[in-house]
Structure 1
Amino acid sequence: MLAGWQDKLLQVGLALAAIAIVVALVVLVVALAERWRARERMIALVFAGPALLLLAVGLVYPMGGTALMSLYDGTQTQFVGLDNYQWIFTDPAAVRSLLNTLIWLVVVPVASTGFGFLYALLIDGSRFERFTKTLMFMPMAISFVGASIIWKFVYAYRDISRPQIGLLNQLLVWLGQEPRQFLIDSPGNTLFLIVVMIWTQTGYAMVLLSAAIKAMPVDVVEAARLDGAGGLRMLTNITIPLVRPTLVVVFTTIAIGSLKVFDIVRTMTGGQYDTQVIANTMYDQSFRFGQPGIGSALAVLLLVMVAPVIAFNVHQLRRNREVRG
């Protein structure tokens, strides 16, 4: 009886999702009908239809299924309501993963965007600009797993009686210090993991911000210099306001990546030593501990955390488009 009731509930959920999709498509068609002529409307539907269908099948349907799974226990047979979400905010290990994820969310976007912007300013117009940009962008071409393996060797630890193979510990030995276990000692190990993502994302920020700096109107820059604007005033009154749209895009993009970080933690520590994050906890609960309900609840929580960042990004893009229009 319970299984039959579960099937009925699943069918109701899928029916509601299908109705929502149909309503959205109807609203879209009506909006297009009011704005464009018949021929242009048909062209728009031809191009937008497949994308909307793929979006519904690949995003809306799995999203509804995940939300439904989050309301059941590990066997997906017993309805537990919001118990899985309660576990996330009461279990010490889960709370630790939330706090670590927030640290990633704060540190990585700020550091990557800041370093990328500073680097773009310093090398703009320099003699070796192309070469230095290439060096900075190269880590971006490496996958998170590859970058993690590289930095795992950088942080490698051996006893003081043995030769060090880790770069940082070898430097400590040369300075007369004891080698450290960078990936084990908490809470500093989370920051050492964060360094890996900053290293890979700074080049991305630098390239986009460098392009934005070069796209600044020449007449505005020259007028500011003729008015006697120095370096700091140029930066705060001219450069930052003009590249602000790009700064927002870069910051929010890196923030979304920080919220979903998985590869680095999985490769370097496996979430041990108080380095766990939401995405890795979701994987562990779903595939290692046989708790798909908790894993689904974590996935829903991650979606809720990412959604405001995406909404802010879209809002800023619309605002910039209206200003330019």
Structure 2
Amino acid sequence: MFVKILRKYSSESIKAHQKEIMARGLPKQKPIVGVNDIVLVSSGKGGVGKSTTAVNLSTVLKIVYPKKKIGLLDTDIFGPTIPLMMNLHETPILTKQNLMKPLINYGVKCMSFGFLIEEGSPVIWRGLLVMQALEKLMRQVDWGDIDILIVDTPPGTGDTHLSLIQNLPISGVILVTTPQKAALEVTKRGAAMYQKLNIPLIGLIENMSNVVCPSCSNNIKIFGSDTIIFAEKIGVNILESFPLNDRISIGGDKGVPVVLNTGSVEFDLYKNVAYKINNFLNNKHSHKISK
């Protein structure tokens, strides 16, 4: 009995302490100069194709809406993959104001911590240095004018995500998962975090939904969970489901996003997501104006 009371008291104390910390001195959200909308691509689980999604979405947005200015920010300090996937390996130059100029490929302005370290060099840092690096990526980049900034986030729901949410006005979040129970459970925690912090969820992208048999062309489900039921439970729509195929993965490895092949099935799938993102942002802005 005493142990139960102690556990309850400890739990309540921890919650009260967390509430006090969250209410005390939170940084004021400040937009990135020149950036209209910030869209996070997030996955609680690693290895579900989050960076692949961020790269192809930013590229397809530029293809579908050529007049829009699109940016891609890689906030994964420990495992930046945007340099490889966007085929960019130079070091950014500095402006007279000591701001970094984004590198550009496929019409998309890109910034990654991977541009600032030697290729293959490990980042062996503690939290404070990581947060300083993130601050540099958020506040010391000369983006110019950007209509939509796609932000590739690291796995988990830790310091990086909280810093982005607390410091930047996030327009919406795209959740990325695979139809695997382990991935869905972690995605659920990520969704709960954003909902708790009143960050709008644009929807869910399901990667590796199936594989097409090369012999009989049948769709084979390689994971057993039902993502549709899962999406309903967490209150989001599935934006699109992507198969597991070598065209998507090879495109990432070669630094040539699969959406550059505008006649492909993959282009059509990503194009559908681009339309949904654009509609979400337009509705969000029109709702603000009507208020």
TM-score in terms of structure 1 length? 0.23
Structure whose alpha-carbon radius of gyration is higher = 1
TM normalised by structure 2 equals: 0.25
Whichever structure has more helix as a proportion of its residues is: 1
Which has more strand, going by share of residues?
A: 2
